[in-house]
Structure 1
């Protein structure tokens, strides 16, 4: 039965509207909790690793560290050959045929990050040329493809948002995850030149934090103000959910000049302004 709220008294419409919002929020939270619980298992004694060599091959061929553009890693979508598109697709199929729960937590973290990034590249290639990933998305009024069905693992269909917000963030609870997953945009932290593995993830997460925070698109001082990526607003809870904790996070990875500027900002704080560049990360 369809409820026509316009036929009800104003107070009744408000109450019903609030109940719908509350129920929707409760349902979403419980779905996320259930999904997180399902994926939060591992086999810590397995000797079997996950092969990411095909993804490394794609990165080696098409990822460009463009020092003339302030060392932003750019992806050469335009020149990806049909043969290499097949290799990328084979890699994604291979990952989806793996049961990650049969692997260690370290292997799983690398698995999910690589799956997210490789799937994002494939989405761009399937829709290229496109000016921004925000132009994609199959849902009505969608802002990007993040809620669209993307992959199927263990029989469960997952979106990119599922991977990031229901698996990577809640299970590992590490703010450096935001420096690992790439949204194919200039404003995003770099797509790593190296595929994540169980043995290098810790190093790559810290390297990603260091590279982004010390780049103007991540953090910069503008007069008395601090200009930072909108990532730190969108996911403020991951960085301590307050200004002091956020500045301390920046200082942990800042080079000496930026670190000193951040200390001065703490002593005499101005405004924190947020920015993001959604242009496609191509040369």
Structure 2
């Protein structure tokens, strides 16, 4: 127990080291200034140091909320590092070859296990914790991904942060558009991120998706409960989440 508490403190301190980097390069709580980050050898090294310190810990042995926060922060940091290694690049989908995509590359070793981004998301976070809110915290360096914020997650306020990320996404036109179906009994459609379709089972099927949205957007209760109001999924924009050129 003492060892776990010590590891938690170490990771909390490590998370604090990540904060200044995110504050410096995350723009408008959505975009990432990869070009400026790439040009700073000091900040490139600081990101790599944070990753090295984090993976040196047996994350699997930590308490639940500490694990979730750490895995999400690590996933996002590895994605940032991957983009910076290939910058300039138009999309994360341009990284990797015909056989191994960016998500399938083994990037780190934790407790003796080689891990890729896919491993962290699909073999650890989703099956081990079964919390669909996690999808709103993972950033894949693309315009249609949930936005990366300038504050890393921490165990102390994890539940509140995940709720806030969900609420933010469901009020974001990149993710959700209720303008086509506001009547309780009329036809129309709610347009939402394709992630809701890809990971529909994580939400409990279509009815689970509707219930999830209703929890965060209760004013949409009637159109969500109206089966005549269909769910449509937006095209996914895999363009890099760099600041738009002015």
Q: Which structure's relative contact order is higher, taking Cα pairs within 8 Å and 6+ residues apart?
A: 2
Following TM superposition, by how much is the alpha carbon of 1:266 offset from its aligned partner in structure 2, in angstroms? 2.9
- Corresponding position of 1:94: 53
- Corresponding position of 2:20: 57
1:150 aligned onto 2:107 = yes
Following TM superposition, by how much is the alpha carbon of 1:273 offset from its aligned partner in structure 2, in angstroms? 1.8
Q: Which of 162, 171, 181 is 2:119 aligned to? A: 162
Contact 2:72 2:138 in 1 (8 A): yes
- 1:21-51, Cα deviation, whole Å (9 max, x unpaired): xxxxxxxxxxxxxxxxxxxxxx697321212
TM-score, structure 2 normalization: 0.87
DSSP 3-state at the match of 2:114 = strand
- Corresponding position of 2:223: 264
Following TM superposition, by how much is the alpha carbon of 1:279 offset from its aligned partner in structure 2, in angstroms? 1.1
With over 3 angstroms needed to count, the CA separation of the structure-2 counterparts of 1:226 and 1:44, relative to structure 1, is farther
- Corresponding position of 1:47: 5
CA–CA distance in structure 2, aligned partners of residues 171 and 150 of structure 1: 20
- Corresponding position of 1:30: none
With over 3 angstroms needed to count, the CA separation of the structure-2 counterparts of 1:266 and 1:118, relative to structure 1, is same
Q: Which of 173, 177, 183 is 2:134 aligned to? A: 177
Structure 1 runs of 4+ aligned residues shifted over 4 Å read none
DSSP 3-state at the match of 1:225 = strand
With 190-199 and 116-125 compared, the bigger mean Cα shift is at 190-199
Contact 1:44 1:104 in 2 (8 A): no
DSSP 3-state at the match of 2:155 = coil
Matches within 5 A, 1:160-239: 160-223=117-180, 224-239=188-203
- Corresponding position of 1:82: 41
Greater Cα radius of gyration, structure 1 or 2: 1
1:106 aligned onto 2:65 = yes
With over 3 angstroms needed to count, the CA separation of the structure-2 counterparts of 1:272 and 1:77, relative to structure 1, is same
With over 3 angstroms needed to count, the CA separation of the structure-2 counterparts of 1:95 and 1:45, relative to structure 1, is closer
- Corresponding position of 1:282: 242
CA–CA distance in structure 1, aligned partners of residues 159 and 102 of structure 2: 28
Following TM superposition, by how much is the alpha carbon of 1:87 offset from its aligned partner in structure 2, in angstroms? 0.3
Contact 1:139 1:148 in 2 (8 A): no
Any gaps of 5 or more consecutive residues in structure 1?
1-42, 66-71
CA–CA distance in structure 2, aligned partners of residues 92 and 227 of structure 1: 36
- Corresponding position of 2:213: 250
CA–CA distance in structure 2, aligned partners of residues 173 and 268 of structure 1: 27
TM-score, structure 1 normalization: 0.76
- 1:62-84, Cα deviation, whole Å (9 max, x unpaired): 0111xxxxxx6111101011110
Following TM superposition, by how much is the alpha carbon of 1:222 offset from its aligned partner in structure 2, in angstroms? 4.8
